[in-house]
Amino acid sequence: MLFADVVGQSAAKAHLLGMWQQNHLPHALLINGKEGTGGLALALALTQFLMCEDKSKEDACGKCPNCQKAAKMEHADVHYSFPTIRNTEKKIEPLSNNYLKEFRKFTLSHTYGTTYEWLQFINAENKQGNISAEECRIIIEKLNLKAYEGGLKIMIIWRPEYLGKSGNILLKLIEEPPADTLIILVSESVEEILPTILSRVQLIKLPPTQATEIEKVLASQHKLEASKAKQIAMMADGSYTEALTLLQHIENDLFPMAKQWFNMLFTQNGIGVSKFVEELAKKGREQQKSFLQYVIHLLEATIRHRYTHRSILANEELAFVQKLSATALSFEAIQSLIEDLDKASYCIQRNANGKIQLQALSIKMMYAIQNKKVSSLVQ
């Protein structure tokens, strides 16, 4: 993985490169960022960069033998530790060594995958993953071995939250690793990491990925048309993982649908709304959910626009938001529309009947737009 392949996170990249250029890279790093911000991608990019024999100031070359090995996660001096499960049927002990092949396959195809997806990938079903005390002892052993290639040894520990108290076994190692060793921990929630570990690592915080960065990658790598890339980027809330999920579920440009729905809601076109609901209800649950989430984002953009006159939207969407923000709809009314949409989306996710939910939601929204109290009319 090259730094160039990590979505956004330019400040973190610059920070890591800066430390390396000044010879100040610590021996234990903790990269922390919410799901979808690319912590693991960044750890892999830093690893390849450090191993590269022909790097520039900004990135690995991507071509040298070390780069090739690192890119395939097959470099002998790069080790990985991650949550695993005990598989009693196949008699597989919960150790990273026993799941390395799967981890490689998962990570190379889902670098932005979630821990939940990883655990499903190894058929954990309801089992919680874990990084055990035994695993910690193996980590220590591995890092005390001589480097195969005589250079740097790197240990990436993905989701140290899963260490629990076993993490204490690693304290001495993290504080004083053997020479030429770098330990990179990649977490999503600092609060779940032992304070004794936290105090021994240098923390690199990843902010939510900027929508414009997500949009760029969706347009260039996934060949999305600009309007759809923008929509998905806006809905992804800073998570590239979420953007990839939305990408699978959103078939069409959602804007024309949203515009049509609002036009009918504003003009009290009950028959039109019924037809619209019928059509939407025929689509899958994920489509319905995505549509409602998209409308929520449009309304949130409307509130932002009203107060700041700024928006990340463009063209038709921007015009729509400008128009909506100029209506007499109060802040409270928009807020309550958002809550209703969110509730309906949640119910649909929980298998409620889509058609009934969407119909009730439409009626509620029509009344709200007319500024009438609806609590007694529709429940």
Sheet containing 28-32: which strands, arranged edge to edge? 78-81, 153-158, 181-187, 28-32, 202-205
**Residue placing its CB nearer to Zn ion in the complex, 41 or 60:** 60
Q: How far apart are CA 167 and CA 149, in angstroms?
A: 28
**Residue placing its CB nearer to Zn ion in the complex, 148 or 346:** 148
Q: Within 10 A of 339 (CB to CB), how many other CB atoms are there?
A: 11
Shortest reach from residue 70's CB to Zn ion, in Å: 8
Give the distance, in angstroms, between the CA of residue 125 and the centroid of all CA atoms in the same chain.
21
**Residue placing its CB nearer to Zn ion in the complex, 77 or 215:** 77
Query: Which residues lie below 8 Å from residue 44, measured CB to CB, with a gap of 6+?
Result: 1, 70, 73, 107, 111, 156
Shortest reach from residue 67's CB to Zn ion, in Å: 3
**Residue placing its CB nearer to Zn ion in the complex, 71 or 273:** 71
Shortest reach from residue 189's CB to Zn ion, in Å: 33
**Residue placing its CB nearer to Zn ion in the complex, 60 or 299:** 60
Binding mask 206-245 for Zn ion (x = CB under 5 A): ----------------------------------------
Identify the H or E element spanning 296.
helix 285-308
Shortest reach from residue 23's CB to Zn ion, in Å: 20
**Residue placing its CB nearer to Zn ion in the complex, 60 or 193:** 60
- Tokens read off for 213: 């960065």
Shortest reach from residue 51's CB to Zn ion, in Å: 7
Shortest reach from residue 64's CB to Zn ion, in Å: 3
Q: Count of residues binding Zn ion (CB under 5 A)?
A: 6
Q: How far apart are CA 128 and CA 118, in angstroms?
A: 11
Report the relative pairing of strands 78-81 and 181-187 from DSSP bridges.
unpaired
Instruction: List the beta bridge partners of residue 32.
Output: 187, 205
Shortest reach from residue 39's CB to Zn ion, in Å: 22
Q: How far apart are CA 285 and CA 294, in angstroms?
A: 14
**Residue placing its CB nearer to Zn ion in the complex, 47 or 132:** 47
Q: Are 320 and 259 in contact (CB under 8 A)?
A: yes
**Residue placing its CB nearer to Zn ion in the complex, 49 or 82:** 49
Q: How far apart are CA 377 and CA 363, in angstroms?
A: 9
Q: How far apart are CA 176 and CA 169, in angstroms?
A: 13
Q: What residues between 44 and 103 interact with Zn ion by CB under 5 A? A: 52, 54, 60-61, 64, 67
Shortest reach from residue 56's CB to Zn ion, in Å: 10
Identify the H or E element spanning 183.
strand 181-187
Residue numbers of the site for Zn ion (CB under 5 A)?
A: 52, 54, 60-61, 64, 67
